[in-house]
Amino acid sequence: MGDEINVGYMDKLGKRTQDELYDLIEKVEDLKLQKQGEDAEISFFVSLSDRVQAVQNLRENEMKELDSSVTNLKKHLNELQISKFEYENRYLREKEECDRLKETEEILRKELHDTCAVVQSLKEEIDHLSEETKPSKEDVAILERNQSLLRLYKNLTGLKWDYTAPLSNHAGSVFNSVKNYCKYFCYPATEANVERVWDEIESAAHAVWSD
């Protein structure tokens, strides 16, 4: 009877232990599933964190490039402003110079107009004086006859007056082309020295050949 009691107890104990084992196995499986879920969640968050970091890095790079572009644009804008300032200054200087040249041109045009008017007036005056001082045909004939006589006189006497000498002197040259003779003289313009001039003419007429 005692053996029957122990066998029944053991049977009950074994059934309980088996149930507990199943429960434990189920809990372990649940824990595994839970752990897998947590691992998956962790992996998801890690992946999400990596993506967020990648996005942040990309944004930082884009911001750096944007800052660099903004800096370059500001530099270029500054250069354009400097160029504009220089161009405006150059334009003002050239405009002032152009205005000054226009004023000078107007002054020169007026002076040229006045000068042309003066020249025209002088030309008309000269033409008028030329008409007034133009010799008549009789005067021209007398002038030509006197010139012929003067040439004849010079050839006969061998005398050529120096019209550049002062009027207070009798000055000139006597020559004899046949005897290769030429002499310059200059005497005070007196009656007595007129004879000396004739003496010079006579000396030239009777001169001997001169080498």
Give me the residue spans of the domains in the chain: 1-134, 137-205
Rounded Cα–Cα distance for residues 168 and 186 (Å): 10
Cα angle 77, 83, 88; round to 5: 125
Rounded Cα–Cα distance for residues 71 and 64 (Å): 10
Mean pLDDT, to the nearest integer, of 114-135?
70
120 — pLDDT class (breaks 50, 70, 90): confident
Mean pLDDT, to the nearest integer, of 3-18?
55
- DSSP alpha helices (H): ranges in the chain? 2-133, 137-157, 191-205
- Identify the pLDDT of residue 9: 47
Determine the length of the chain: 211
- Judged against a pLDDT cut of 50, whether residue 185 lies above it is answered with yes
3-state secondary structure of 167: coil
Segment holding 176, helix H or strand E: strand 169-176
- Average pLDDT, whole number, for the chain? 78
Class of residue 105 by CB neighbours under 10 A (exposed 0-12, middle 13-18, buried 19+): exposed
For 136-167, the pLDDT digits (tens) are 778 778 888 888 777 777 777 788 888 888 88
Higher-confidence residue: 114 or 187? Answer: 187
Mean pLDDT, to the nearest integer, of 30-52?
76
Beta bridge partners of 170: 187
187 — pLDDT class (breaks 50, 70, 90): very high
Mean pLDDT, to the nearest integer, of 7-17?
56
For a pLDDT cut of 70, what percent of the chain falls above it?
82
pTM for the predicted model, two decimal places: 0.33
Highest mean pLDDT among 11-25, 57-71, 147-161: 57-71
Beta bridge partners of 159: 174
Phi, psi of 180 (to 5 degrees): 55, 50
Highest mean pLDDT among 9-23, 86-100, 121-135: 86-100
What are the C-alpha distances in Å from 59 to residues 53, 56, 128, 173? Answer: 10, 5, 100, 115
